[in-house]
Amino acid sequence: MKTTSTLMQQKQYPLIGLTTYAADAQGRYTLPHEYELAVTRAGGLAVLLPTVENLIPQILERLDGLVLTGGGDISPALYGGNAAHPELYGQSEVRDRYDLALIHAALPRQIPLLAICRGMQMLNIAYGGNLHVHLPEVFGETIAHRSHIPGPLQHPVTIRPKSRLSDIVGLDPMEIVSWHHQAIDRVGEGLQIAATAPDGLIEALEIPEHCWCIAVQWHPELVSKGYLRQETLWRDFMGAARKYHTTSSKMA
């Protein structure tokens, strides 16, 4: 008789790590449930990763894919920005340090990686890039990337040809939802722009030499259900994670 564990292995549910917010004042790690739902819909098993830096190698040994999730602002000290800007919020030195360490440990393993919003910004910083501290001061309000009231905003993005992202979702303009006031300024070395907003803002990055590493400034977890192209992005990521699972299992 086959056990539940055996059946799950046969179906190859890749184990996907989701970074969490740093512990709050009550000592709780949190993450919006939409991330888990997106992973589950795409055929993966989600596991939340607390910011325990000394266990990163052991964690990565067990994962088949990694999602760098959104959250509060990254400390400007990491990229030479204005640390006293009044619009900064939700900074966490612990999470910044953990996410950077996780990126530097994960990418050499060629583990599939999807970076979302803050995750994309952290990936860019890890590669030597920097950020705009507050977008309206640079791009104005032609395209609203963050609402003054809680909730995401919708706008189109243009997908660049000859990118991995275009291979996955196609070249037609795509409607996305965003919720951020910071974004990429100087692109880190080794990263390639894959999408832009109508105002020129960088909306997606990727690493051409990596097996699967795509970063998006928008929130595909918020629009994956009922949005075929966002769902396609998640499913392609899960396919890469499934392939990684099979390859790493053979090597074990």
Contacts of 123 by beta carbon, 8 Å cutoff, 6+ apart: 68, 103, 113, 115, 188, 191, 205, 213, 215
Catalytic residue among 117, 155, 181, 206: 117
Catalytic residue at 145? no
Q: Regarding predicted confidence, which is higher, 152 or 252?
A: 152
Write out the H or E segment, with its range, that includes residue 138.
Answer: helix 136-139
Q: What is the pLDDT of residue 172?
A: 97
Look at residue 146 and tell me whether its pLDDT is greater than 90.
no
Q: What is the pLDDT of residue 56?
A: 97
pLDDT digits (tens, 9 = 90+) for 41-62: 999 999 999 999 999 999 999 9
Catalytic residue at 134? no
Q: What is the pLDDT of residue 223?
A: 79
pLDDT digits (tens, 9 = 90+) for 188-226: 999 999 999 999 999 999 999 999 999 999 999 997 666
Look at residue 8 and tell me whether its pLDDT is greater than 80.
no
Tokens of 76: 């400007």
pLDDT digits (tens, 9 = 90+) for 25-35: 888 889 999 99
Look at residue 250 and tell me whether its pLDDT is greater than 70.
no
Q: What is the mean pLDDT of residues 125-150?
A: 89
Q: What is the pLDDT of residue 11?
A: 62
Catalytic residue at 219? yes
Domain count across the chain = 1
Average pLDDT, the chain: 92
Catalytic residue among 36, 203, 206, 221: 221
Hey, which bits of the chain come out as E strands?
Answer: 15-19, 45-49, 65-68, 113-116, 131-132, 153-159, 174-178, 183-184, 192-196, 202-206, 213-216
Domain that holds residue 96: 4-251
Catalytic residue among 155, 180, 219, 245: 219
pTM of the model: 0.93
CATH number of the domain within which 231 lies:
3.40.50.880
Confidence band for 2, pLDDT divided at 50, 70 and 90: very low
Look at residue 148 and tell me whether its pLDDT is greater than 90.
no
What value, to the nearest 5°, has the Cα angle with vertex 158 and ends 152 and 159?
110
Strands 45-49 and 15-19: parallel
What value, to the nearest 5°, has the Cα angle with vertex 197 and ends 195 and 202?
55
